[in-house]
Structure 1
Amino acid sequence: MDTATLAQASDIDFSLVALFLRATFTVKLVMILLIVASFWSWAIIVQKHLVFRRARAQAAAFDATFWSGEPLDALYSRVGPNPAGGPERIFAAGMAEWQRSHRSDGAMIPGAAQRIDRSMDVAIDREARVLNSNLTFLASVGSASPFVGLFGTVWGIKTAFEEIALAQSTNLAVVAPGIAEALLATGLGLLAAIPATIFYNKLTDDSDTIASGYEQFADEFGTLLSRNLDS
């Protein structure tokens, strides 16, 4: 390679901003889409981390309160009509059905245990939906971003070959900018996909663990109420 070509290539700005500005409209659109998807993914990751940490703290605090020996009716009155956390909402759902199952003479309406379990199952399902909300977006970003970036790369390389044909030259100064711009799209696709995939798996596992704790509490609470019914 002659010194003139090397000097011409060294004058090309290969910074990320310059590569973006030189890209075609289609490739720019792909890059912007991937950058937005990446920022949105990180916002979901941080938000879910805070939500899950709060859910664990609420579960631990309520579990300690529940097994402290305080009467259930008193605890239900203290929880009030607006429970603060998932375990409290599940407990309130069970207790509400428990109280509705009492007849005016103090006897229990038949089938109370099944209705209480269903009420708590509905509450658990509602809490699980809240925990899993927006996780599908992370899964979509993790699976689709590499292909979106690859589309930008293919389009950029196509444009680079067109420029080579128009310039009728294959020297480094003609080839390098277009190829670099095209590869930047793939890099952004991977930059968005890798964290989204990793944290989707982690957050899904955390969500399942928290929901499993809710189900365990509901089973223990249901057993306690069933024992009271039998007695």
Structure 2
Amino acid sequence: MMTARQTWTKLLIEVGETEAFGNLSTVLEKLVETIVLSILATTTAAFCALFCAMLGSRTTQINAWLGFIVRMIASFFRNVPVVAWALVLVISFGHHVITGYFALFFSTFGLLVRMFIDTIDEASSDGVEALNGVGATYLQMVFKGVLPETLPQLLSWIFYMIETNIRSATLVGLLTGTGIGYLFDFYYKQLNYEMLGLITFVIVVVVFLIEWMSNRVRRIIS
């Protein structure tokens, strides 16, 4: 009769010898590619979205018509699903990582413009009025009034979109043949449930870790 410790050790050895854990390095490599793609698409979209949000917000807009145009453009990008972007861009760029990047960028840009505009309008109207009252320039109003008051909330939205885009990048990868989505599709067609379970588990763990990290950062900057 084996002891409980021997039984547990034997079970760990058997699990470690399975095909799924033998391919763990491949899964992690594709996962890193997906995470980097999501972070890159989110951060670049956030930079562009912040600029457009300043023009589109009723608190900081330079011209009413320009603000209206910016909001309409953002609404268009926001209302096209990321899957639709991926399908359209596959025709132009083929099955390439750049296709996934632009699909995530466009959908993230539209969402962040709307979120940033709402944040600016809600959080900084009093400060902007006070700065305008003492004759501050537009750039002084932005960097001294708007950004200091809204930065914690803006960063919260950026972290939220990174979490969302990691999940979306998996779906986009199914269509573009890149990242962790490609592996998921590959093993799904083979009906390899061990690998599918491992890939799903790794994605869930990464999303939880990023959420935990973003919560800690938000507490620090709040």
The answer, yes or no, to whether TM exceeds 0.5 is no
- Which structure has more RCO (C-alpha within 8 Å, separation ≥ 6)? 1
Decide which structure has the larger Cα Rg and report it: 1
